[in-house]
Amino acid sequence: MTYKRKNSPVPDPIVAEARRREALKRGDGETQPATASDAMPARTRAVPQPTPRPAETSKMKELSLSQRRTRRHVTALSVPSQADPGEAGSAISMIRASNLVPERLEYVWNGRIARGKLTIVAGDPGLGKSLLAARLAATVSQGSAWTPDEEQALKGSVIMVTAEDGLQDTVRPRLEAAGADLDAVHLLSGLNLTQDQDALEQEIRRLPDARLMIIDPITSCLGRTNINGAADVRAIMTSLSCFAARTGIAIVAITHLNKNGSGRAMARTVGSHAFVAVARAAYVFTKDPDDLGRLLLLPLKNNLGADKQGSAFRIEEVAISIGTAPCLVPDPEPVMVTADEALTMPRTAPGGQSILEQAKEFLCEFLAAGPVAARAVHAAATAAAIKEISLQRAKKALGVQSSKSAMDGGWQWMLPAETKMINSSEDDQHAPMSTFGADDHLRSANLAETMPSRGDHP
């Protein structure tokens, strides 16, 4: 049984144990209660408070009433005890690790969203976070695969807490477009996590197959909590994390990114850093800087697994019973950018192009006259402020081919239309010509000298 420290006296077993030990030291053996008050139930008996020392008495006067009560109570709890933990009333508990039975983590989304744990997803407004929420709900309610290459989700009921979108004209159509089992999705509004957790737990207990709860956004369910106060946010998020562990449900809390366009992605969530610190996993949902029509779900942290690979989606309009509605569909192309890179890289080139389009245009012009040494391509891209990740994506998008110029020669890049390889001997080899004309060999040599050490690779 646990007593609240605020109003409850010190539990009797602690004091009784201390008195018993004193009696044993005097040689009295096991003793019986010395007074009538000792035999009274713990809840009705007053416990003697320790007498403060003179120096402590002066300090007590400077403290508030609640602070004095807390200090006296903690002092009383410092009495050594070997009482049965089941009888003690302390708010703290300790257990041997050997007494714990190990348990395997159970995932709703393998390696990413775990049951009984709190996960955070942060993204810019209007980007598609609610579409992501609908896809999460649809996948779990149907027990379908997250992507064509991944395992099926743990099927079960889903609770969606929404505060920004209309239930009938927005949430319901998007769930239908995502293919959700509408009978397994339960919509909730008006939640205040500072006072409604008991009622919420009762609702979840009525759903024995509850697997996932999505809160969109978490900041709308915090009442008057100061979202910039680390202590306040940590307290409510810790409470929510304990709620997830107690009910066994996976909680995905969606939030916004702040307007700070620089710095690490970990510091980009709105409000206190405690939102991310308390969560066991955190993700960023943002646009692909190389392809603005592509949305990325990128890991910020994952304390439970080694999830380092992001997922990509695109928005498509899907026919539903009342017309059409948008939904997220997986994009099979691998994600080659981190959360830090995605949030700090410019999303458009100076001329208004996307970064990917700029890289594609660069390759088309640079390789127009024929094969060019890979080292020269990398050097020229660096000089044009095109990052390696953008260059590789442009290469794949254009179908640029890589080939060896000779048995002991270096790699060359060529556009798909150029299929002939240069197979002549070293004496017969000639430098490929490009739009730079006869001076191209000088340009390639200079670029190779100034290129950072990447090694000769395709």
Could you read off the pLDDT of 371-425 as tens digits, one per residue? 888 888 888 888 888 888 788 878 888 888 888 766 666 888 888 864 333 333 3
Average pLDDT of span 356-385? 86
Cis peptide before 125 (omega within 30 of 0): no
Strand (E) or helix (H) holding 311:
strand 311-320
- Write the pLDDT tens digit of every residue in 170-211: 999 999 999 999 999 999 988 999 999 999 999 999 999 999
CA distances from 402 to 281, 380, 417, 446 (A): 39, 17, 13, 22
Pick the CATH number of 107-343 from 3.10.450.50, 3.90.228.20, 3.40.50.300, 3.30.9.10: 3.40.50.300
Q: Which helix (DSSP H) or strand (DSSP E) does residue 164 occupy?
A: none
Q: Is 367 exposed, middle or buried (0-12, 13-18, 19+ CB in 10 A)?
A: buried
- The per-residue pLDDT for 316 is 95
Least confident segment among 40-54, 179-193, 357-371, 425-439: 425-439
pLDDT at 1 over 60: no
Q: At residue 314, does pLDDT exceed 90?
A: yes
Q: Which token pair is 213?
A: 């709860």
Give the confidence band of 77 by pLDDT, cuts at 50, 70, 90.
Answer: very low
CA R_g for the chain: 32
pLDDT computed for residue 366 by the predictor: 87
The domains of the chain are located at 12-99, 107-343, 355-450
What pLDDT is recorded for position 396?
81
Q: How confident is the model at residue 335 (pLDDT cuts 50, 70, 90)?
A: confident
**8 A C-beta contact, residue 281 and residue 304:** yes
Q: Which residue has the higher pLDDT, 287 or 73?
A: 287
* Per-residue model confidence (pLDDT) at position 348: 60
H helix or E strand, kind and range, residue 362? helix 355-366
List, for residues 9-28, the tens digit of each pLDDT value: 444 566 566 677 777 766 65
Cα→Cα distances 416→81, 224, 419, Å? 80, 61, 7
Helix (H), strand (E) at residue 232 = helix 230-247
Tens digits of per-residue pLDDT, 112-133?
Answer: 999 999 999 999 888 899 999 9
Q: What is the pLDDT of residues 137-152, one digit of tens each?
A: 999 999 998 877 788 8
pLDDT at 334 > cutoff 80: yes
User: What integer best gives the mean pLDDT of the chain?
Assistant: 77
Q: Per-residue pLDDT tens for 214-238?
A: 999 999 999 999 999 999 999 999 9
Q: Of 386, 402, 403, which is closest to residue 394 (Cα–Cα)?
A: 386
97 — pLDDT class (breaks 50, 70, 90): very high
Nearest to 73 by CA among 9, 19, 15: 9
For residues 264 and 297, the model is more confident at 297
Question: Which residue type is seen at 152?
Answer: Q
Tell me the two tokens of residue 37: 């008050």
Per-residue pLDDT, 457: 53
Residue 60 has pLDDT above 90, yes or no: no
Among 12-26, 48-62, 281-295, where is mean pLDDT lowest? 48-62
| CA pair distance 217, 201, nearest whole angstrom | 19
**In 3-state terms, what secondary structure has residue 92?**
coil
74, 89, 225, 346, 415 from 69: Cα distances, Å: 9, 16, 26, 56, 79
Closest alpha carbon to 254 in 131, 156, 133: 133
- Cα–Cα dist 179/136, whole Å: 11
Give Cβ neighbours of residue 246 (< 8 Å, ≥ 6 apart): 201
Q: Which pLDDT band holds residue 344 (cuts at 50, 70, 90)? A: confident
